[in-house]
Amino acid sequence: MPRESDFSPAQSPSLEAPTGPATWRADTLLVRGGLARTGLNETSEALFLNSGYVYPNAEEAEAAFDGTLERYVYSRFRNPTISVFEERLAALEGAPVCKATASGMAAVTSALLCQVRAGDRVVAARDLFGSCSWVIGDLLAQYGVSAEFVDTENLDAWAQALAKPTRAVFLETPSNPTLRIVDLKGVCDLAHAAGATVVVDNAFATPLLQRPRDFGADVVVHSATKWIDGQGRCLGGAVLCDEAFNETYLGPFLRHTGPCLAPFNAWVMLKGLETLSLRINRHSATALTLAGLIEGHPAVARALYPGLASHPRHALAQSQMKAGGGVIALSLKGGRASAYRFLNALSIVDISNNLGDAKSLACHPWTTTHQRLSPEEKLIQGIDEGLIRFSVGLEDPEDLAADIGAALDAAGG
């Protein structure tokens, strides 16, 4: 990993292979999935920058609302540009339904809040993006939903927590920022035995590197802000699920609470998807090379990257993911002072709390993205004061290696 086959087109394309959206491979879906041209036959996806729709007569308006006529009525419910994005992402994730949201956090919150009731119990991985742990631990508690956080990589801990009836399970794999890997099949089997719906945050891997539904996940959520846009332009998110979950829980929740994606942002995300395969493979290949260099530097206590043989769950990552993705976590021996020297010495890589950009970005999770957690909780999650999260961009790998090498030398002091 990364494997050669993931980075090059099929070896010998056949002229006889059947063609059509149902058989298209990921790289074709990225460019053409869901494409629905208007009568004007435009090449690129049309941008429908409109909130409402008009009716030729009062009878049609009535039919649109009583359900006898399916058509666009209001962009909080549906919009043609957003629909193309939803269909494309659904095909990539292998999910019957995709609903786009205004941000990744709108997707996470909607996927959970739509299904829980007071008295329910949620079990979640301990290693989560800061806002995800706030939604599960703090927000759900306001509505009488209890949460139990478990040791992310320990299947026995999951089994213990899921010995009791559970409404929903939530996890990220790889997790933000320490790239812990959850046994998707193992946790999904345990969760289903407990009656739970499994929600997987697939933001770090994208559907090209990992499809959680293939391992039993029920609902997949994305922060499209990260690799799907991939160029630091727009916020966006998505929830993917089956028809029943959408009809019973998600659809009504989104329609009436309105965390919808803006049509313009959906159009930007469509352009992002077109190049996702090229980008994510390059991000992964560069990250693997840099992770190997980082791991060998004397200032580094540990480097965490799913593609490194030294990652504690490397074999599991290989069985679930096609490549390691674009994020590396590294911990510097000299703690916070060393981490700050490292960040301040970077000349190409920017200091930023964002990730999933063409530009390489690095941050200090202890004092930024995960500042809200107590010191004890940070340490349990593997976030020490020397930890750096590094989102690998599309710059020349040798330029990045030189920049990182010089910053590591400075970090060593």
Ligand X SMILES: *Cc1c(COP(=O)(O)O)cnc(C)c1O
Residues forming the site for ligand X (CB under 6 A):
103-105, 108, 129, 132, 172, 176, 201, 203-204, 223, 225-226, 235, 237
- Closest-by-Cβ residue to ligand X is 104
Which of 214, 177, 202, 189 minimizes the C-alpha distance to 353? 177
The first and second tokens of residue 238, run together, are 């998505």
The first and second tokens of residue 45, run together, are 């996806």
Residue 14 CB, nearest distance to ligand X (Å)?
38
Q: Are 238 and 98 in contact (CB under 8 A)?
A: yes
How is the chain split among helix, strand and coil, in percent rounded to 5? 40, 15, 45
Residue 354 CB, nearest distance to ligand X (Å)?
8
Residue 75 CB, nearest distance to ligand X (Å)?
20
Minimum CB distance to ligand X smaller for 204 or for 245: 204
CA atoms of 29 and 21, how far apart (whole Å): 7
Minimum CB distance to ligand X smaller for 101 or for 277: 101
Minimum CB distance to ligand X smaller for 79 or for 369: 369
Which of 402, 412, 384 minimizes the C-alpha distance to 300? 412
CA atoms of 28 and 77, how far apart (whole Å): 28
Minimum CB distance to ligand X smaller for 81 or for 223: 223
CA atoms of 178 and 105, how far apart (whole Å): 19
Which of 293, 378, 372 minimizes the C-alpha distance to 335? 378
Minimum CB distance to ligand X smaller for 300 or for 361: 361
**How many Cβ atoms from other residues are within 10 Å of residue 14's Cβ?**
7
Minimum CB distance to ligand X smaller for 225 or for 286: 225
Angle between the N-to-C axes of helices 80-93 and 263-274, in degrees from 0 to 180, rounded to the nearest 10: 40
Minimum CB distance to ligand X smaller for 108 or for 147: 108
